[in-house]
Structures are given as C-alpha cells and as structure tokens.
Amino acid sequence: MSEKIEQTNRTKLRRIPKRGSFDRENIYKILDEAFICHVGFIVENQPFVIPTAYARSDENLLIHGSAASRMMREMSKGIDICVTVTLLDGLVLARSAFHHSMNYRSVVIFGTAKLVKNEAEKHEALRLFTEHIIPNRWEEIRAPNSKELKGTTVLKLEINEASAKIRTGDPIDDDEDYELNIWAGVIPLKIEAGKPIDDKKLPKGIKPPNYALNYSRD
C-alpha cells in the first residue's frame, strides 16, 4: 500500500492547495481522532447529507446503521458517495472581519461502498465501532446477538480516493492591518470529557471504569 494516495480530479485541491495532504498517515490520524462523518449521496435527483458514526479498519472506512435505513439501502447498491470528516482546533481571530478563520483538520473521501456480508467480519466491524468511540469497552459489554447482527447493515468504503486539508497557525492579515490596535490570535478548541453520569437504573455498587473516568481524545 502506497504511503500517498494518488490525486484525482475529484480530490484535487483548488482552493489554497498548500494546505492539502494526500499522505495516508495524515488522513488516517484525522479519521482515527474524529467521531462523526457526513455521508453525501443522491437518490432520484435529491441530494442527502447524513451524519453518522464510523470506524476505520486499515484502508477501509466502516459505516453501520439499521438494515431499514434508506441511506444504508441506497449505499448498498454501489452508488457514488462522498464522506467528509472535520476536526475543529481553534477560532482564528484576525484584525479584519474578512480574514477571520478557523484552524481545522478535514478529510474528504469519494467512492462506492460495499456490503459486508460475512458474519465474522461484521462482528469485527461492530467491535471496531465500539472501540473507536471508547477504547477498552468491548471486553466488558455483551456482544451483539444474531438478531442484532441481522438488523444491522455494515458497509465498507475503500480509502483510495481521498485528501486531507489542514489549517494551523495565526491569522493572516493584510500588511497595513498589522498596525491596528486590535487583539488578534487563536482561541484553541478541543473535546473535553466531563465526569461520567450513572444510568438511573444502574445497581448500587457499580462504579465507572477507569476508561470512563479518564476519557480523553488527546
């Protein structure tokens, strides 16, 4: 597997291309840190963009949902889709309104998804979904039963037509604006976990595990 993904007409970065990356390592790091992807597809000339959870298995992006889901049914037919993932790292405050921006890391993937039919592969995909959200959880919980597996559709999308785009650093103002008596800089942003809240039906004596008490996406 090449360390770089070959650029295509669909993934070519036309707006500030210097922020782009086709390195698999960069793309995978962003995918492994984020939680939610947005899946774009067209059905009968009507565009849809649906947010959903995902996981990554090597060079494949895994998406799952109810077997009754329109999105899953349509994607199972091999239609063209576009998947996007974004991490917001900071608000960039410039001296002028025009140059305000955000620091971010994003990925765009094009392709067609394939239905995962093998039960063992499907079971492994559900493990990866769980571990992507909260590592070490899978070993404690009840695994999916046959009814739950049957009611869940899993699709995999090869990450072979994709690009990343990343903005970091300070605001970029016009030269004459640097002399203005206005604060400029970056307000960092990150996901921060709060204290776990017990389920109201939780029996007494069951304490939150360490991975819940110390949860972090860093």
Structure tokens at 18: 């210097």
In the chain, % of residues over pLDDT 70:
100
Average pLDDT over every residue of 103-115: 98
Confidence of residue 91 (pLDDT cuts 50, 70, 90): very high
Domain count of the fold of the chain: 1
pTM for the full model? 0.93
pLDDT of residue 217: 81
Average pLDDT over every residue of 201-207: 96
Coil, helix or strand for 123?
helix
Contact criterion met (CB below 8 Å) for 89 and 103: yes
pLDDT at 2 over 80: no
Nearest to 64 by CA among 129, 161, 150, 139: 129
Range of the domain at 143: 17-213
Structure tokens at 50: 């649906």
Residue 183 lies in a domain: yes
Residue 4 lies in a domain: no
Confidence of residue 58 (pLDDT cuts 50, 70, 90): very high
Q: Give just the sign of the alpha carbon dihedral 145, 147, 153, 158.
A: positive
Q: What is d(CA 190, CA 202) in angstroms, rounded to the nearest whole number?
A: 30
Coil, helix or strand for 25?
helix
Calculate the average pLDDT of the chain.
Answer: 96
In the chain, % of residues over pLDDT 90:
95
Confidence of residue 189 (pLDDT cuts 50, 70, 90): very high
The H or E element containing residue 108 is strand 101-112
DSSP character at residue 23 = B
Residue 11 lies in a domain: no
Query: What's the CATH number where 208 sits?
Result: 2.30.110.10
Residue 47 lies in a domain: yes
**Strand partners of residue 158:** 60
Average pLDDT over every residue of 48-63: 97
pLDDT of residue 187: 98
Contact criterion met (CB below 8 Å) for 85 and 52: no
pLDDT at 1 over 70: no
Residue 10 lies in a domain: no
pLDDT tens track for 140-175: 999 999 999 999 999 999 999 999 999 999 999 999
Residue 172 lies in a domain: yes
Residue 75 lies in a domain: yes
Average pLDDT over every residue of 116-137: 96
Confidence of residue 218 (pLDDT cuts 50, 70, 90): confident
Residue 9 lies in a domain: no
Residue 54: Cβ-neighbour burial (10 angstroms; 0-12, 13-18, 19+)? buried
pLDDT at 98 over 80: yes
